[in-house]
A and B are shown apart, each in its own frame.
Chain A
Amino acid sequence: MRRGNVVWSWFWMILGILYFFLPLLATFLFSLRAKLGVLSFTAYVNIFSDPNFIYNFSYSVLWALLTIIAGILILVPTAYLIRLRLPQFRTPVEFITLLPFVIPVIVYVFSLVRTFSQPPLLIVDSPVLLIAAYTVLSMPYMYSAVDTGLRAIDVRTLTEASQSLGAGWGTILFRVILPNIRAAILSGAFLSFAIVIGELILAEYLVKPAFAPYMNYMMQQKAYEPAAMAIVSFALTWACMGIIQFVGRGQQGQIAAGH
Chain B
Amino acid sequence: MTHLTLTDISKQFAQTTVVQDFNLDVKSGEFVSFLGPSGCGKTTTLRMIAGFETPTTGRVMLGDVDITDKAPNQRNIGMVFQAYALFPNMTVAQNIGFGMQINKESKSAIKQRVDEMLTMIHLEQKGNSYPSQLSGGQQQRVALARALANRPKVLLLDEPLSALDAKIRVSLRAEIRAIQKKLGITAIYVTHDQEEALSISDRIVVMFEGKIEQVGTPFEIYNFPQTAFVASFVGTLNTTDAEIFNLSKKLIKIDGVQLETAEDLGGRKKGDKIKIAIRPERLNFASVEKKANVFDCTIENITFLGSVVRVQVKVGSNRFNMDTFNNPFLELPKIGAKEQITCSREAVLILNS
Which residues of A does B touch, CB under 8 Å?
153-154, 157-158, 160-168, 171, 176, 179-180, 182, 253-259
Contacts and interface: CB of A to CB of B under 8 A. Distances in A.
A180 B85 contact: no
A158 B132 contact: no
Contacts of B71: 163
Given A160-B72, A253-B132, A258-B130, A165 B85 contact: no
B150 A165 contact: yes
Interface residues of B, number: 30
B88 A153 contact: yes
Given A161-B86, A163-B73, A165-B150, 12 more contacts: A160-B52, A160-B81, A160-B85, A162-B98, A165-B146, A166-B73, A166-B103, A167-B73, A179-B89, A180-B88, A254-B89, A258-B132
Contacts of A182: 89
A164 B133 CA distance: 24
Contacts of A157: 81, 83, 85
A165 B98 contact: yes
B77 interface: yes
A46 B74 CA distance: 63
Given A257-B132, A258-B130, A258-B131, A164 B78 contact: yes
B204 interface: no
Nearest to A256: B132
B120 to A, nearest CB: 17
B87 interface: yes
B51, B76, B87, B102: most-surrounded residue (chain A CB, <10 A): B87
B81 A165 contact: no
Contact of A166 (B81, B89, B130, B150): B150
Contacts of B76: 166
Q: Which 10 A-B pairs have the closest CB atoms?
A: A257-B132, A165-B99, A161-B85, A258-B88, A179-B89, A164-B79, A163-B72, A166-B102, A157-B85, A258-B131
B102 A164 contact: no
24 contacts: A153-B88, A157-B83, A160-B79, A161-B81, A161-B87, A162-B73, A162-B87, A162-B98, A163-B71, A164-B73, A164-B79, A164-B147, A165-B73, A165-B98, A165-B99, A166-B73, A166-B76, A166-B150, A168-B73, A176-B87, A253-B132, A257-B133, A258-B88, A258-B132
